[in-house]
Structure 1
Amino acid sequence: MYPVEILTLFPEMVSGYVGQSILGKAQERGKLSVTATDIRDYAEGKHRVTDDTPYGGGAGMVMKVEPLVAAIEAARTRHPGAKVLLMSPRGPTFTQARARELVDHAPGLILVCGRYEGVDERVMGFLDGELSLGDFILTGGEVAALAVVDAVARLLPGVLGNQASHVSESFEEGLLEHPHYTRPPVFRGAEVPGVLQSGDHARIARWRRWKALHLTQERRADLFARLELGLADRKLFGLREEDL
């Protein structure tokens, strides 16, 4: 079982999501364990205060170091060896490759969700790193943490019904995924490509690869520029769709 603990001021935001769909079923089958821990449980005093005004002045509040570090240390005790990551716009951008790395090399995750203006900088000494979803700001780290859990969980053995399904998905090979179609064969004049109805599996595979290559070039030129295409892909890319 792969353990994930999310440290948050709003555990109910987490529990609702992780109990549904694939994540919920993965936990029922014992493949994944996701718990949400309230950081306030580690705050001292009657009111369990977790934030304070920043030194030097400025707008907003800062999450206090004491309850955060206490929560992190308690979580480390529960999950020895787990990687502790703060969801933060300062961190490296989370990618499919990073998700794969976490599954392969981290025996578990402890994800820390910031709020307000951020966390006391001294918390950084108790982390293994930071992660960002991209160049934008959220009101808190919970949405980002859930995205990480979702991406990681799908890569765990036995979580997806079709274990081969994630291999051809977007970003697994540095490519966007090919288009998908299902019934009906015609909808308001738009038809499913004939090749997908041909029953010729080799031809279908060529079409899907051709589509993935061209979609990546058209929509994510940055990804396409980093590809190292083999001879077969270069020949395939140069064909017209009608010649596949």
Structure 2
Amino acid sequence: MANLTKNQKEIAKKYDKTKAYTLEEASSIVKEISMVKFDATVDIAVRLGVDPKKANQMVRGVVSLPHGTGKDVKVLALVTPDKEQEAKDAGADYVGLDEYLEKIKEGWTDVDVIVTMPAVMGKLGPLGRVLGPRGLMPNPKAGTVTMDVSKAVSDVKAGKIDFRVDKTGIVHAIVGKVSFPAEKIMENAKELIQTLQKMKPTAAKGVYMKSIYLSSTMSPSVQVDPKSV
């Protein structure tokens, strides 16, 4: 067995990695065991009892985190000229259409979220190979394809995130930063978990919420008891 580093020994004193904690406890522990020198991101991983290969068991949606993600989300608004000022006033970092479509075609994807209008989606279709793998393709269900561009941009900037179950049945999402008070991490995580609970597919059988883990960048994960939420 490999020798533990000094940091690993310190972390081992702070919690039991085999124990499932309440969400409140886990939110405090994940802060305590972060040993990096920057403001680490706090992530949640929820394993669901679904088969993502079956369309009737796909879990996908959006949630507005009450305290935001703590991340400065860069938003690109692909809109027609009459909507440009609306997008700028709402806080979009990049606003335009054809010039950005050309940049994306050339490989530029330096944004976190793309908001657009129904009329523009036809132009985005050919860029699916670039945007799809990066999770950047706008989607009406995520609220990023809409005529209300101002609201879409504002919501994303305020902490609205979209999520989907991956091929292994896990939903990954950001729920804050280590610098957040534990209470805010807990409330953000609780909002996502409760949203997922309401989305259980009728076709899913057995235990729906199998496991929940909180972790921060480059730190071990903390198990959360699903019954505590």
Asked which structure has the greater RCO (Cα within 8 Å, sep 6+), the reply is: 2
Query: Shorter-chain TM-score: what band?
Result: 0.3 to 0.5
Higher strand share: 2
Max radius of gyration: which structure?
1
- TM-score norm. by structure 1 comes to 0.34
- TM-score norm. by structure 2 comes to 0.36
